[in-house]
Amino acid sequence: MRARVFVTLKPSVFDPQGKVIADALHSLGYDGVADVRQGKYFELELSAADAATARTLAAEVADKVLANPVIESYRIEVD
Amino acid sequence: MKFGIVVFPGSNCDEDALHAARDLFGQEADYLWHKDTDLKGADVLILPGGFAHGDYLRTGAMARFSPIMAPVRAFAERGGPVLGICNGFQILLESGLLPGAMLRNRSLKYRCEHVHVRVEQNDTPFSSAASVGQVLRIPIGHGEGNYFAPSDMLERIETNRQVILRYTDAAGRLDDHSNPNGSVNAIAAICNEQRNVVGMMPHPERACEALLGGVDGRVIFESILRAVERPALQVAGRSR
C-alpha cells in the first residue's frame, strides 16, 4: 500500500520560504498568487494488509518523525 | 567536575567544547558517543553544535532517537545541568526537553557572525556568573535559529522567566536589526521550567580566547563551574 503524507506549517506559523517564493512570483508578474505556503511531501511504501492499517502506520510515522507537532500538521492519503 | 560532550554523527563543535572545558577551564572532559548508554560519570552535559545525523528531515529531528538520549533525559529529569549549543539546542527542542521549535532564519540565509545577546536571567547553572542586563558578544553560525513557540507556550515561557538570552544591540537595547534570525521575542536562549536545561544558539565555546575575537563566552563556563561548586545547584553531581 502507498501512503502520501503532506506536512505543512500550521497556519499560525510564519513560513519564510513560502514568503520568498510568493515575492518571487509577484516579481514575475503573478499578482494573482495571493500567498504561498511551502511544505513537505512524503510517499511511503507500506507493507500493510488494508488501508486502515496503512493509515495507522503512516500516522504513527508522521507523529513520531515526519512532522514536528509544535509547528507542523499533516494530512494522509492512502491508496 | 567532569564534562560529558555528546557526539552525534555530524556534530562539529564537539572538539571546541572539549577544548574549552579541558584546556581553558582545566576540567575533566570526555566525549559521549551517541550510541553510548552511560554518561561516564559526567556532572554536566553539553550537546554541541553541528548537523547531527545530517539534519536532513529537520534540525535535531533524528538525534533524539540516539541511544544516548535516554540517559541524557534521565540526567536532566533528576536535575543534572544540560547545555545545548546551536544544533544541541535544536536537539533539545526536538526531544521535548525544551519547549518550542526552530524555523528557517527569516532571511533564509545561514548567518555566521558575532552578535550581541543580553543576559535576562542568571538563576540557571549556565548563566549564574553573569549579571542580569549584561551584554555578551558571542558568535552565531546557523541557518535555522528562528525560535518559535505558539502564543500560549510563549506566554508560559515569559511568565516563568525561561528566556535566558535575547538578541540586542551592543548597548543591550532590543531592536529588530539586532535579531539575526527573526526569533520570536528576540529569544537566543531558554531554559526548561526546572532551569537545569538550557539551549542557546550563540556559541560560547568559540568565544573563550582573545585570539578567536572575544572572551564573552567564558562567563557561561564560569557559571557551570560555580553552579557545580555551589550546593544549591549541585543536584546531579552528588545524587549518583
The tens digit of pLDDT for each residue in B183-194 reads 999 999 999 999
Contact criterion met (CB < 8 Å) for B108 and A16 = yes
Tally helices (H) and strands (E) across chain B. Answer: 6, 11
Contact criterion met (CB < 8 Å) for B148 and A20 = no
Contact criterion met (CB < 8 Å) for B57 and A66 = yes
Q: Nearest-CA residue of chain B relative to A9?
A: B103
The verdict on A71 touching B (C-beta cutoff 8 Å) is: yes
- Which residues of A fall within a CB distance of 8 Å from B100? 70
Check residue A9 and give its pLDDT.
Answer: 96
Alpha-carbon distance of B240 to A16, in angstroms, equals 45
Question: Strand B111-119 relative to strand B101-103: parallel, antiparallel, unpaired?
Answer: unpaired
Whether the full predicted model's pTM is greater than 0.95, yes or no, is: no
Which pLDDT tens digit goes with each residue over B58-106?
999 999 999 999 999 999 999 999 999 999 999 999 999 999 999 999 9
Q: For residue B238, is pLDDT > 60?
A: no
Check residue B237 and give its pLDDT.
Answer: 46
Q: Nearest-CA residue of chain A relative to B94?
A: A68
Judge whether B120 counts as a catalytic residue. no
Q: In Å, what is the CA distance from B166 to each residue of B116, B142, B236?
A: 8, 16, 27
Alpha-carbon distance of B101 to B92, in angstroms, equals 9
Judge whether B203 counts as a catalytic residue. yes
- C-alpha triplet B210, B110, B72: angle, nearest 5°: 75
Check residue B234 and give its pLDDT.
Answer: 46
Judge whether B28 counts as a catalytic residue. no
Is ipTM over 0.85?
yes
Place of cell 565555546: B205
Contact criterion met (CB < 8 Å) for A68 and B101 = yes
- Which residues of A fall within a CB distance of 8 Å from B101? 68, 70-71
Contact criterion met (CB < 8 Å) for B149 and A70 = yes
Q: Nearest-CA residue of chain A relative to B65?
A: A65
- Which residues of B fall within a CB distance of 8 Å from A66? 57
Beta strands in chain B (DSSP E): 2-7, 28-33, 44-47, 82-85, 101-103, 111-119, 135-142, 146-148, 163-168, 187-191, 197-200
Residue B105 is placed in which grid cell?
Answer: 532564519
Q: In what order do the strands lie in the sheet with A72-78?
A: A39-45, A2-9, A72-78
Q: B126 Cβ partners below 8 Å, 6+ apart?
A: B81, B83, B164, B191, B198, B200, B220, B223, B224, B227
The verdict on A24 touching B (C-beta cutoff 8 Å) is: no
Mean predicted confidence (pLDDT) in A32-53: 96
Q: B158 Cβ partners below 8 Å, 6+ apart?
A: B185
From the list B86, B120, B142, B144, the catalytic residue is B86
Contact criterion met (CB < 8 Å) for A17 and B108 = yes
Place of cell 550563540: B202
Which pLDDT tens digit goes with each residue over B101-139?
999 999 999 999 999 999 999 999 999 999 999 999 999
Pick from B133, B119, B129: nearest CA to B163: B119
Residue B151 is placed in which grid cell?
Answer: 502564543
The verdict on A66 touching B (C-beta cutoff 8 Å) is: yes
Check residue B240 and give its pLDDT.
Answer: 40
C-alpha distance from B210 to closest chain A C-alpha (Å): 36
From the list B13, B116, B203, B208, the catalytic residue is B203
Alpha-carbon distance of A70 to A63, in angstroms, equals 11
